[in-house]
Amino acid sequence: MLKDLEKINIMQFESSFPDEETCFQFLAEHKWKNGFVCRKCGNTHYCAGKSPYSRRCTRCKSEESARSHTFFHNCRINIKEAFHIVHKVLHNPNISTYVLADESGHRQMTCWRMKKLVEKEMQSKDLK
Ligand SMILES: [Zn+2]
């Protein structure tokens, strides 16, 4: 998923992700690219859930958001801003977290944690 985010260049980024909706759409497309399977009962039929691009199992009615069980699962900041920070790190792995904090308006600690997560994720992909 991060590899696909990496392919989008800085010029394309703003037009690709102008709002939260487009970020959730991107997440949903990637997490369910092989189809929907309910984590609770294994059913493959779904209808639209309450949050943007979430899916709701038609059998047990459990709902899964586009963000859950993805890289952005535990990310508490706005999804569009999170995409932005991750994208910057992918395109500039040596960027200082102070610069990231300055540009994003988030705490340096928040940016540092996100950067670490990206590095960990990219390393685990390289090993495979
Ligand atoms: Zn189900």
Helix intervals (H) in 20-107: 20-31, 79-91, 97-104
H/E segment holding residue 55: strand 55-57
- Given a cut of 90, whether residue 124 has pLDDT beyond it is no
- End-to-end alpha-carbon separation of the chain, Å? 15
- Given a cut of 80, whether residue 104 has pLDDT beyond it is yes
Contact of 26 with 70, CB cutoff 8 Å? no
Ligand 1 center to 44 CA (angstroms): 8
Ligand 1 center to 6 CA (angstroms): 33
Residue 80 CB-half CA count within 13 A: 10
pLDDT, residue 74, reads 86
- Given a cut of 70, whether residue 7 has pLDDT beyond it is yes
Phi, psi for 34 (deg, rounded to 5)? -100, 20
Ligand 1 center to 58 CA (angstroms): 7
Q: How many CB atoms lie within 10 A of CB 90?
A: 18
Ligand 1 center to 21 CA (angstroms): 24
Kindly report, residue by residue over 43-100, the tens digit of the pLDDT: 999 999 999 999 999 999 999 999 999 999 988 899 999 999 999 999 999 999 999 9
- Please state the domain count of the chain: 1
Contact of 68 with 28, CB cutoff 8 Å? no
Contact of 75 with 86, CB cutoff 8 Å? no
Tell me which residue range forms the domain holding 120.
2-127
